[in-house]
Amino acid sequence: VIRYTDDLSEVRPDMLRGFFVGWPRHPSPAQHLAVLRGSYRAVIALDDTADADLIAGFVTMISDGVLTAFIPWLEVLPGYQDQGIGTELMRRVLAGTERFYSVDLVCDAELVPYYKRFGMLGTSGAVLRRPEALEKDTPL
């Protein structure tokens, strides 16, 4: 019942419910949709069965289109996890990036083994975070 697509033309903000689990402050659905549309590439996993017109997972990639790419967001809704959806989203977003020198992402240390499945390497990094950039939203 899960359909994967990079076509965002039919996506509405209300289909982006329930993401950013555990975030004290998180993007509004409208800001979330703008992130998807502004990305170099975005893939969504749609559950469009009659009673559940929603997005079960998404991944985004930003890139210079020449040598480097970054994967800022990957999330699968709790009720849809452990069914291979994250794996398929990663597979699809990485497809065609073989010419890039680097494809990077930042994750918790416990998730490094997960990303090693896609040929990625654990490393260290440094980040800037500005929670005030996230639009305030009603609780999930």
Ligand X SMILES: CC(C)(COP(=O)(O)OP(=O)(O)OC[C@H]1O[C@@H](n2cnc3c(N)ncnc32)[C@H](O)[C@@H]1OP(=O)(O)O)[C@@H](O)C(=O)NCCC(=O)NCCS
Q: Does 83 bind ligand X (CB under 6 A)?
A: yes
Q: Which is nearer to ligand X, 8 or 107 (CB)?
A: 107
Neighbours of 71 (CB within 10 A): 25
Contacting residue, 3, 17, 23, 81, with ligand X by CB under 6 A: 81
Residue 58 CB, nearest approach to ligand X (Å): 9
Contacting residue, 55, 60, 75, 103, with ligand X by CB under 6 A: 75
3-state secondary structure of 116: helix
Q: Does 28 bind ligand X (CB under 6 A)?
A: no
Residue 81 CB, nearest approach to ligand X (Å): 3
Neighbours of 43 (CB within 10 A): 25
| H-run or E-run covering 34 | helix 29-38
Tokens of 89: 């989203």
C-alpha angle with apex 90: 86 to 92, nearest 5 degrees?
120
| Residue ranges binding ligand X (CB under 6 A) | 74-76, 81-87, 105, 107, 110-111, 114
